[in-house]
Structure 1
Amino acid sequence: MTGGRWLRDLRFSLALLGPLGGMRSIPVVPEQTVRDLWPGDAAKGERLVQGTASHDGEVRRLHAGHWSEPDWPEDFRDWLQGFEWLRDLRELGSDSARARARVLVASWIQQPIADTPLQNPAITGARIASWLSHYDFFAASADEPYRRALMHRVVLEARTLMALLPTDRHDWTVLQALKGLLAAAIAIPGQTGFLSRYMKLIDPELERQILPDGCHASRSPGAQLRVLRELAEMRLMLQSTRIPMPTSLASALDRMAPVLRAFRHGDGRLALFNGTCFHSPALIDLVIARAMPRGHVLARSMKDGRFGRAASGNTVLLVDGGSPAADYPDLAHAGFLSMELSSGRSQIVVNCGSSPKKGWHEALRDAPAHSVLSIPAFPPMTWRNDGQIETCPKVNYRHTMSDTDHLIELESDCYRPAGVETYHRRLFLAREGADLRGEDRLDCKGDTPEFVLRFHLHPLIRVELEETDILLHTHDEVWRFRSDGYSSIEESMYFGGPTPVATQQIVVRPAEIEPEQPAYEAPSSAEEATAEQTYVEDVSVQEEEIDSSPAESVSSDSKEPIASAPPSDEETHVEEPLSTEAEVREPELPPPPRLASAIRWAFTRLDE
């Protein structure tokens, strides 16, 4: 055990003993409550009243005092222990919902503190914030012993946050823990250590996580949303209590909200880069409104996050132009250089998304699950058995604009193990968004390896094959796809909606280039020329002798064949084999066709 881990465990054990002044100094009710900003789901609340919990497709029967089971997925267990489902009961709003909330909270706080799972500060922070933001709903009308027990538990669990923070993780989960600490500081200002600890930790954490352009360091639109959501809650807590807001928090909100807007398609959904899954457009609208109440600013550039956004007319092109974030291996995908395309409120080209489920998680983070080129035998990046990134390729990105035209140029060394020096991708959006042209090219040391270019299609796109073209029908437009390779339609899966659905993908393979026939090689010396000429003359003389010999024939009237006289001794001779200085060379077989090293393609909107 390292010294840091030993000290942390010691602080945690001391935190469970309670404050030095004893529990009598803790108020029975919070001095000030905080407000939950997000809508709940009344249908889920009704199921909770009936004793069933559902989250992310998992449905489990709840039993009194059981907060973990061996067969529960980790995400479901964390969600249940975080008590964020209290907003579902609040949304239902019935007396039975209030009673159910009170019973479930009582079931938790009745556990001995030493037996309670408190080692995950993110879950503890979410739980404290949920209790205090729903206090008026389930606890304000409860009896005094219940309220006192609840406040005692808030203090004890908040003390564990002070002991466990900071953590080794630097993502939205640590901000969730800090949010719980801030909520406890507002509810119980007499415990001054809560607020001072929060103020000490928030600045370095935001400096580490938020890039100068406002992108989250994970390079994930989904993480961008989660972090901004936590910061928006902190902002409201501080404003409602007139606590001065840290400069780092105000700056992060101002920079992150425009970037989150830039990650959206016309239908309001997020681009599916680096571990992003479905998030309700209505929730995204609400998060942005809470984070930036005034203004509708859209990030013009994401040079630090290294994403490209080209918008022309109603068309939006989003491109991942950066290397994977090595500090966030759980979110990193091998989708660098991938693209998504939408027109108006219709998404056309997408990535497949992500899933926490085993098997799908690994498959969806690989290159074939993205709209980008891939070499089947050589993954562009790999992960170690411990989940850390093993190979992290370099990616270069450049975006130039001229009026309404955009040129995005990308390159990466991700396929060097396959003998490819550089993978180049060029994207040109023109004609006010009606024409997107691209080229994917491999610079190889030797022969071009087999590769595949994929464009995953949104499930609402209807595909029609027309000779060499592929027509893509949105609800109000038709787009045509063409390429100089071999294009086909194959099955795919889309995880960018509330539930996974089957969809299709355009798969393009490179054309074959026929090799040129070898030209006649002139003799390299005078001797070879003389020998070759002698051979040609000898063969010509022999052919003339064969042609000038009388042809044997049989008369139709003859009953017996005509016998020829035997040759005389003078005429008898044995032909000697031709003697030449140049041997006859076997003709060489032509080399097999080779693969083209580039595919050129275009998506064009057909205007009626």
Structure 2
Amino acid sequence: MQDDRSMPQETGFFKNLSAYAHQIKCRSPLYDMALGRAASVDDAPLVIPPDPWSGDAGRGYDIVQGLYLFDGQSFRSIDVLWEPEGFHDGWLSSMHGFDMLRDLRAFGGERARQHARYLISDWLDHYSRWHALSWRPDITARRIVHWLSAYSAFCASAGEEFRHAMLESLSRQIKHLSKHAGEGDLLYTAKALFYGGMAMGQEKYCRQALHILAADIQNDILSDGGHKSRAPEQHLVFLQNLLDIRAAIHLAGLSVPDFLTHTAGKMAAVLRSLRHNDGGLGLFHGGGAAGGSLCDMVLAQAGASGGRPLKSLGVTGYDRMSQGRTTIIMDTGKPSDRQNYAGLLAFEMSAGRDRLIVNCGAWAGHPAWQQALASTAAHSTVTVEESNALPAKGAEIPLKKIAVTKIREDLNGTGLIDATHDGYLERFGVTHRRVMTLKNNGNLLHGQDILSGMDGASFAVRFHLHPSVRASVIGDGTRVLLRTGTGQGWEFTCNGGVFGLEESVYSPGRHADTPRKTLQIAVYAQIFGQKTIVDWNLSRI
């Protein structure tokens, strides 16, 4: 057997060489001719895929006015520009992927139809042949899905010349995507190929799509039904697309594979467990809050509107406590090699439909913001020496060495989560243990943050407040009075540290306009005698 060391390794040089060779092949006239030998589109689309999800009419109006806002960046122009200078990949992907079509459909009317056709025609004028960005597999897949999903709204009543040009391009794009199906977002690739196969009457693409889908589920969905990213919003989006594929399979008159049905059921159960009382999602691992109505609709489509949320997601790494009208969602998961967000043992709290304690969220508008919102300090948890609980990428301490342990108890109307992580152990000799107890019918949350290890190590316990919460320090600085948007009163008290109110930010999603200003309760302390306990209460008044 040949020694592996004698074989060329997948270094940056070989990757760049491979990418360069790939671009030469795709730019060649022969490749363009090969894509041109696609099936006839005279009878297409044979089947139009369903799209039950509503867009944002306000954003649709903005698009008609020439304002394109994606991933925190906006561009305004009467004449559309597909590659404006200085715009990041998220904006470009959304633009070339035609994410705006659902919003234009929500806005409705002749102006929306004309603008959608204008965008498609202009794209065809500039990108009808392979292009390194616009024909990238992940972007191509999104564009195929959005063009076909919007066909009835924008294209069915268009002129013959426009429809033929669009469908001919779709046929070429589907063929291109099929050749590069192992690259990019596999879920969207599977969805695009199945939609394309139905529309063009090409069964081979449908078969390929189901093979890709099965492999992607095996790779991305954990054994308890959670998404491997551990981001609630990404979990929601995956399930939403899975349900779209299931609906398309039904529409095509085919039997839904057992693996798809089984996965959708497990994912729906997890989704219920990651929701707050307002119906939206917790802000963890870069995911946004999403809307309660969208979550309701996804669960209804999954046939899982009823059922109680799970108390513990052992593999996905979340625990949930609910009593009365109070809900706690806590991150108790072990970090993975893919994890960027450093909110170990962070929690969020909602009371009724009011969010009280939150994490700061995520925003894609600027890399510096992305880095700041991924930090431990941007989560409602403990920060040691103002550093992240996860080492920086490329550090000598691998993430797999960080241990997280948890004990969960529910007894006599009291819920308890007792979790510990050692993300600070190798750098500072410190471990963090958090014990939270929810009792008195949800009217009292008692917490202890126990820091053990090196004497003199400083730490901060942060409780980020939702922007709708008004906060004031009372009782000569011994208490913080909190008033929610609906007028509920809560009181924060603490022993074991010095605390006060500080500025914070809140971004409910990566695509938000800008993060909003809010406040946080910050408790500062040091370790003495190798252990310090910060004992705190959030009690309803």
Task: Tell me the TM-score normalized by structure 2.
Answer: 0.88
What letter corresponds to residue 498 of structure 2 in structure 1?
Y
Q: 1:351 deviation in Å?
A: 0.8
Deviation string, structure 1 residues 516-550 (Cα, Å, up to 9, x no partner): xxxxxxxxxxxxxxxxxxxxxxxxxxxxxxxxxxx
Q: Contact 2:465–2:520 (CA<8 Å) still a contact in 1?
A: yes
Q: 1:217 deviation in Å?
A: 0.7
**Match of residue 134 from structure 1:** 150
**Aligned match of 1:350 in 352, 358, 363?**
358
Q: Does 1:599 align with 2:534?
A: yes
**Match of residue 429 from structure 1:** 438
Alignment of 1:365-514 (within 5 A): 365-384=374-393, 391-392=399-400, 393-444=402-453, 446-467=454-475, 468-474=478-484, 475-484=486-495, 485-496=497-508, 498=512, 499-510=514-525
Give the 3 Å change call, closer, same or farther, for CA 430–46 of structure 1 in structure 2.
closer
Alignment of 1:159-558 (within 5 A): 159-167=175-183, 173-189=185-201, 191-292=202-303, 295-327=306-338, 329=339, 332-356=340-364, 357-384=366-393, 391-392=399-400, 393-444=402-453, 446-467=454-475, 468-474=478-484, 475-484=486-495, 485-496=497-508, 498=512, 499-510=514-525
Deviation string, structure 1 residues 249-273 (Cα, Å, up to 9, x no partner): 2112111112112111111221111
Q: Equivalents in 2 of 1:67, 1:422: separation in Å? A: 50
Deviation string, structure 1 residues 97-125 (Cα, Å, up to 9, x no partner): 21221121112223341347344322111
Q: Contact 1:395–1:411 (CA<8 Å) still a contact in 2?
A: yes
Q: Contact 1:253–1:292 (CA<8 Å) still a contact in 2?
A: no
Q: 1:449 deviation in Å?
A: 0.6
Q: 1:293 deviation in Å?
A: 5.9
What letter corresponds to residue 169 of structure 2 in structure 1?
R
Q: Contact 2:337–2:399 (CA<8 Å) still a contact in 1?
A: no
**Aligned match of 2:58 in 43, 62, 86?**
43
**Aligned match of 2:69 in 23, 38, 54?**
54
Q: 1:355 deviation in Å?
A: 1.3
Give the 3 Å change call, closer, same or farther, for CA 432–599 of structure 1 in structure 2.
same
Count of aligned pairs between the two proteins: 515
Q: Contact 1:318–1:340 (CA<8 Å) still a contact in 2?
A: yes
Give the 3 Å change call, closer, same or farther, for CA 355–204 of structure 1 in structure 2.
same
Q: Equivalents in 2 of 1:299, 1:231: separation in Å? A: 21
Q: Contact 1:448–1:597 (CA<8 Å) still a contact in 2?
A: no
What letter corresponds to residue 350 of structure 1 in structure 2?
V
What letter corresponds to residue 465 of structure 1 in structure 2?
V
Unaligned runs of 5+ in 2: 1-13
Q: 1:29 deviation in Å?
A: 2.6
CA RMSD of aligned residues (A): 2.7
Identity score, percent: 30
Give the 3 Å change call, closer, same or farther, for CA 273–85 of structure 1 in structure 2.
same
Give the 3 Å change call, closer, same or farther, for CA 299–389 of structure 1 in structure 2.
farther
Give the 3 Å change call, closer, same or farther, for CA 247–465 of structure 1 in structure 2.
same
What letter corresponds to residue 471 of structure 1 in structure 2?
L
**Match of residue 149 from structure 1:** 165
Deviation string, structure 1 residues 386-415 (Cα, Å, up to 9, x no partner): x99954522112211113211111111111
Deviation string, structure 1 residues 542-580 (Cα, Å, up to 9, x no partner): xxxxxxxxxxxxxxxxxxxxxxxxxxxxxxxxxxxxxxx
SS for the counterpart of 1:150 is: helix
Q: Equivalents in 2 of 1:214, 1:23: separation in Å? A: 39
Deviation string, structure 1 residues 211-238 (Cα, Å, up to 9, x no partner): 1211111111121111112112112111
Q: Contact 2:501–2:520 (CA<8 Å) still a contact in 1?
A: yes
Q: 1:63 deviation in Å?
A: 6.0
What letter corresponds to residue 271 of structure 2 in structure 1?
L
SS for the counterpart of 1:248 is: helix
Q: 1:321 deviation in Å?
A: 0.4
Q: Equivalents in 1 of 2:357, 2:396: separation in Å? A: 29
What letter corresponds to residue 258 of structure 2 in structure 1?
T
SS for the counterpart of 1:487 is: strand
Q: Equivalents in 2 of 1:595, 1:488: separation in Å? A: 25
Give the 3 Å change call, closer, same or farther, for CA 23–378 of structure 1 in structure 2.
closer
Q: Contact 1:15–1:156 (CA<8 Å) still a contact in 2?
A: no
Q: Contact 2:355–2:466 (CA<8 Å) still a contact in 1?
A: yes
Moved more, 117-126 or 50-59: 50-59
Q: Equivalents in 2 of 1:293, 1:302: separation in Å? A: 18
Q: Equivalents in 2 of 1:15, 1:297: separation in Å? A: 53
Q: Equivalents in 2 of 1:176, 1:89: separation in Å? A: 21
Q: 1:156 deviation in Å?
A: 1.0
Deviation string, structure 1 residues 126-151 (Cα, Å, up to 9, x no partner): 11111111112222222323222212
Moved more, 261-270 or 8-17: 8-17
What letter corresponds to residue 159 of structure 1 in structure 2?
K
Q: 1:333 deviation in Å?
A: 0.8
Q: Equivalents in 2 of 1:350, 1:9: separation in Å? A: 45
What letter corresponds to residue 107 of structure 1 in structure 2?
D
Q: Equivalents in 2 of 1:240, 1:296: separation in Å? A: 28
Q: Contact 1:454–1:508 (CA<8 Å) still a contact in 2?
A: yes
Moved more, 242-251 or 149-158: 242-251
Q: 1:284 deviation in Å?
A: 2.4
Q: Equivalents in 2 of 1:24, 1:200: separation in Å? A: 22
What letter corresponds to residue 338 of structure 1 in structure 2?
A
Q: Equivalents in 1 of 2:305, 2:378: separation in Å? A: 38
Give the 3 Å change call, closer, same or farther, for CA 421–41 of structure 1 in structure 2.
closer
**Match of residue 7 from structure 2:** none
Q: Contact 1:215–1:224 (CA<8 Å) still a contact in 2?
A: yes
Give the 3 Å change call, closer, same or farther, for CA 37–243 of structure 1 in structure 2.
same
Give the 3 Å change call, closer, same or farther, for CA 399–49 of structure 1 in structure 2.
same
SS for the counterpart of 1:109 is: helix
Give the 3 Å change call, closer, same or farther, for CA 605–44 of structure 1 in structure 2.
closer
Q: 1:243 deviation in Å?
A: 2.0
Give the 3 Å change call, closer, same or farther, for CA 271–73 of structure 1 in structure 2.
same
**Match of residue 92 from structure 2:** 77
SS for the counterpart of 2:213 is: helix
Q: Contact 1:321–1:337 (CA<8 Å) still a contact in 2?
A: yes
Q: 1:85 deviation in Å?
A: 1.1
Q: Contact 2:296–2:305 (CA<8 Å) still a contact in 1?
A: no
What letter corresponds to residue 600 of structure 1 in structure 2?
D
Task: Tell me the TM-score normalized by structure 1.
Answer: 0.79
Q: Equivalents in 2 of 1:8, 1:251: separation in Å? A: 38
Q: Contact 2:174–2:196 (CA<8 Å) still a contact in 1?
A: yes
Q: Contact 1:8–1:163 (CA<8 Å) still a contact in 2?
A: no
Give the 3 Å change call, closer, same or farther, for CA 271–388 of structure 1 in structure 2.
farther
SS for the counterpart of 1:17 is: helix
